[in-house]
Amino acid sequence: MACTCSEAIYNFAAGPSPLPAEVRAALREALVEQGPLEQPFGAAAVRRMQEDVEQDLRALLQLPAHYRVLFLQGGASAQFALLPLNLLAPGQSAGYLESGHWARKAIAEARRHAALKVIASGADSGFRALPPFEAWQLDANLGYCHVTSNETGDGLQLHDFPELPVPLVADMSSDLLTRPLPLERFGLIYASAQKNLGIAGLCLVIVRDDLLRPPRPGLPSVFSYALQAAANSRLNTPPLHALHCAGAMLRWIARQGGLTAMAALGLEKSRRLYRCIDGSDLYHCPQHTTDRSRVNVCFQLREERLLPLFLRSAERHGLLNLHGHPALGGVRASLYNAMPLAGVDKLVDFMTAFERQHG
Ligand SMILES: Cc1ncc(COP(=O)(O)O)c(C=O)c1O
């Protein structure tokens, strides 16, 4: 296939995902120079590094003072279990929005630890749309209501958040720091770091301080949000390397113009790609336009037999990791903050040329 694209390489991985060159340079330096990564975790240099990360995060998010920031391990998957164990009072149940693959994972894990009600499900639409707020069946007894703000595998995203009578809890693993947020609507936000906040190993939990409850009997101390908050997330050794990387990512985002700039860039990147898909006879995005993700653009080829060739050709042209989630198939282009507009333009050029030749 003739390709007029430049030879730049772009990595569309869903996570871990590419880092900006400046962040990669900061990591390289941290490995070469002696610094906080080789200090006891109680040392002043380590405490300062962690405090700087927290301050930069608070500034970017404009996080009100009554929210605590926890730097934990175990990924978002560990929080799937730890949310009900930390947030529910005896006798309370939790409400979950079933929006796609990651919500189903969160539900399956939470069900092992608590009574749980699915407040609305996208199953009726084949997970091609999100249930509207009016369809959410909430009751005042729920200890919290859980949503997955961006379904990384299904390509669906909540573009607004309701004010609820119970604490709203959100898995934002794939879209935290891609847009400004109405923080006061949330009781708790959590996110693994390896998409928009650096590398794997760190999981951020932002929790309103009135939701911190004394640990229930049997809960290991390191898994208690209240005990970690009281110990400034240093109940045991924090993931220093991932924290250092998060700091570099936050400074990079601030230099790009902060979350408003990230949101504008994300909107433009996704718009260009969806425009190419919707204008084509070969590519097809079944997700309802109003709920489409601006972060993970998922689509299919109408002629499925062409998919392996599409992915192989894309790779030869320097467009990497475009395969869909292993459980869902198709194509997925992840457009996290570090993906420049030029990467999307190159992908669009490639898709157009591929369709011309094979469509
Ligand atoms: C929305 C969402 N939640 C949770 C996870 C799981 O994160 P981890 O592997 O860090 O536990 C992912 C990973 O891709 C995700 O995209």
Written as tens digits, the pLDDT of the chain (359 aa) is: 444 455 799 999 999 999 999 999 999 998 888 888 888 888 999 999 999 999 999 999 999 999 999 999 999 999 999 999 999 999 999 999 999 999 999 999 999 999 999 999 999 999 999 999 999 999 888 999 999 999 999 999 999 999 999 999 999 999 999 999 999 999 999 999 999 999 999 999 999 999 999 999 999 999 999 999 999 999 999 999 999 999 999 999 999 999 999 999 999 999 999 999 999 999 999 999 999 999 999 999 999 999 999 999 999 999 999 999 998 899 999 999 999 999 999 999 999 999 999 97
Q: Which of 82, 149, 152, 295 to mutate to test the pocket of ligand 1 (most atoms within 8 A of CB)?
A: 152
**Which atom of ligand 1 is nearest to 149's Cα?**
1
pLDDT given at position 156 = 98
Q: Is 17 in the pocket of ligand 1 (CB under 6 A)?
A: no
Q: In a 3-state reduction of DSSP, which class is residue 342?
A: helix
Tell the residue nearest (CA) to atom 7 of ligand 1: 76
| CATH H-level, domain 258-358: superfamily | Aspartate Aminotransferase, domain 1 (3.90.1150.10)
Distance from residue 320's CA to the centre of ligand 1 (Å): 20
Let me know: does 35 contact 26? Beta carbons within 8 Å: no
**Would the CB of 13 count as within 6 Å of ligand 1?**
no
Closest ligand 1 atom to Cα of 200: 10
Residues 18/24, Cβ–Cβ less than 8 Å: no
Position 4 scores a pLDDT of 46
Q: Is the CB of 173 under 6 A from ligand 1?
A: yes
pLDDT value of residue 6: 55
Domain 22-255, CATH: 3.40.640.10
Q: Best substitution site from 96, 154, 192 to test ligand 1's pocket, by max atoms within 8 Å of Cβ? A: 192
13-37 tens-digit pLDDT: 999 999 999 999 999 998 888 888 8
252 is in an annotated binding site: no
Let me know if 171 is a catalytic residue: yes
Question: Residues near 158 by Cβ (< 8 Å), separated by ≥ 6?
Answer: 99, 130, 147, 149, 150, 291
Beta-bridge partner residues of 191: 204
**Among residues 177, 343, 248, which one has the least CA distance to residue 25?**
248
Q: Which helix (H) or strand (E) holds 71?
A: strand 67-72
Give the start-to-end residue ranges of the domains of the chain.
Answer: 22-255, 258-358
Question: Which among 242, 240, 266 is positioned nearest to 253, based on CA atoms?
Answer: 266
Contacts 24+ apart (CB under 8 A), 8-11: 8/318, 8/342, 8/343, 8/346, 9/318, 9/319, 9/320, 10/318, 10/319, 10/320, 10/339, 10/342, 10/343, 10/346, 10/347, 11/320, 11/321
Distance (Å) from CA 129 to ligand 1 centroid = 20
* Residue among 56, 154, 175, 195 flagged as catalytic: 195
Dist. CA 279–CA 355, nearest whole Å: 11
